[in-house]
Structure 1
Amino acid sequence: MSVAKIKRSVALLLFITLPVLMAPVDLFLAPNYWVKSIVKIILFILVPLSLNRYFKWVKVKDLFLLRRKQIKGIIILALGTYGVIIGAYLLLKDMFDFSMVTSQLATSMAINKNNFLLVFFYIPLVNAMIEEGFFRGFGFLTLNHFWPRWLSYTLSAVVFSLYHVAIMASWFSPLLFLLLIVSLVIAGLFFNYINEKTGSILTSYVIHAGANLAINTIGLSLFGII
């Protein structure tokens, strides 16, 4: 097998394997959100970066290049994403039962009303970057150098969706769960598209952070903080 084939095969295998390894940590093993976050940083950031030094899949600094004229449009998209998610919640909150979300957060992640404010800021600022670095930086943008475009698009979006779905499977009713799967796949494809246009994960990171901020705002309401 040629060096090029080894590089692309290892990249693909790693992108599929690491979320699989992370899933049981999220679901069963780690005692709280912060322990899970440390494991996530190791698997999603440190492992790919370490192997990238050997396989040289991508120049990491190139993933963070962003032209100044793109910033305004990205901020507008992030604010729009925030508004759409808040609006969707306001429309659906009387149709679906969201009460189990807070109890599941307390049971599986030790997140409660007392520590939620710290999580409120951590998720959009840090966790969103971890996920964009892995699913779009290492996933889509890196795989796109070695594999067909359709495969990179589809695989990155699907793995992104399934990873989150595995964590939140017990949080919602079956219908809302199905809507969640579809929404996450669409979000993954959209993130891939804007990353392809700009070549930078900063674009999807800002929008992802806006989405997380909206979800956390809803969390403030569910916890009775606002």
Structure 2
Amino acid sequence: MKKYFSLLLSVGVLVSLMAPVDLWLAPNYWVKSAVKITLFVIVPLVLNWIFKWINLKELLFFRKKGRKLIVVGSVIIYLFIIGVYLAIGHLFDLTGVTVTLEETMAINRDNFIFVALYIPIVNAFIEEFFFRGILFLTLMQYVKTSYAYIISAGIFSIYHVAIMTNWFSVPLFILLVFSLFVAGILFNWINDKTGSIYGSYFVHAASNLAINTIGLHLFGIIG
């Protein structure tokens, strides 16, 4: 129980510390990324060394199990997101997205390509290590699997609230938060089936790649 409560308290504090950075401090994206790496990777590594939540060798070991599921899942999630955007994107006002990115993170048309590569390759791994590795796979050792699914997916979706607060209209915002919760459940399921964070990492990277493809369109980089 000590490990369980220390884990939830630590995750809650770290997510809470990251929220002000996203909401109010609004530093340059690369500064924000450095803060995120510190809070979601370095600090959890130190805390895991102290509390012995999970064996890192087991957590970071790349298993070949479920490779077909990972590849198919990655392709499906990419095509699904692009398909949804093409089908209903015109129903929502997305003009504020690029403006908010430029004002709050100094992301603009000139540097978006670099950001679009960083997010699926590096940022996706940071989030999978934290939300699925340190949180979900560790929680499964202490609580019922269903609880681990809901807690991890819930915190994952809530975390993104701070990032997207001023991006969209209320209906689209609610839809995205719900979609993030469902995505969190999906990522958890993939890790549960493959026994590794790499399964959800590749699928997460594919979803980020799809979102960034849409971003390239919104910035006018691609037609």
Q: Which one-letter code corresponds to 1:197 in the other structure?
A: K
1:14 aligns with 2:1: no
- 8 Å CA contact 2:70–2:203 kept in 1: the answer is yes
Partner of 2:140: 144
Verify the 8 A CA contact 1:165 1:180 in the aligned structure 2: no
User: In the alignment, which residue of structure 2 is the partner of 1:209?
Assistant: 205
Aligned to 1:96: 92
The percentage of aligned residue pairs carrying the same residue is 55
Query: In the alignment, is the contact (CA less than 8 A) between 2:63 and 2:195 conserved in 1?
Result: no
Cα distance in 2 between the residues matched to 1:66 and 1:100: 40
* 1:162 partner SS: helix
Tell me the distance in 2 between the aligned counterparts of 1:95 and 1:55.
49
Query: CA offsets per residue over residues 48-105 of structure 1, 9 Å max, x none?
Result: 1111112111111212334435223201110110000000000112111111100000
Quote the Cα distance in structure 1 between the aligned partners of 2:143 and 2:20: 28
The AA in structure 2 aligned to 1:165 is V
Moved over 6 A (4+): none
Contact map agreement 1:157 1:185 (CA 8 A) in 2: yes
CA distance in 2 between partners of 1:71 and 1:149 (Å): 23
The one of 201, 218, 221 aligned to 2:214: 218
2:39 is the counterpart of 1:51: no
**Structure 2 CA distance for aligned equivalents of residues 178 and 93 of structure 1:** 15
Structure 2 residues without counterparts, runs of 5 or longer:
none
Q: Residue 94 of structure 1: SS of its match in structure 2?
A: helix
How many residue pairs get matched?
A: 222
Alignment of 1:16-95 (within 5 A): 16-95=12-91
**Match status 1:119 vs 2:119:** no
Deviations along 1:134-189, whole A, 9 cap, x unmatched? 00001110111122323211111011001112210211111111110110110101
Structure 1 stretch displaced more, 24-33 or 127-136: 24-33
In structure 1, what residue type is equivalent to 2:163?
I
Q: How far apart, CA to CA, are the structure 1 residues paired with 2:96 and 2:166?
A: 9
Structure 1, 55-64 or 203-212: larger mean CA deviation: 55-64
Instruction: Name stretches of at least 5 consecutive residues in structure 1 with no aligned partner.
Output: none
CA RMSD of aligned residues (A): 1.2
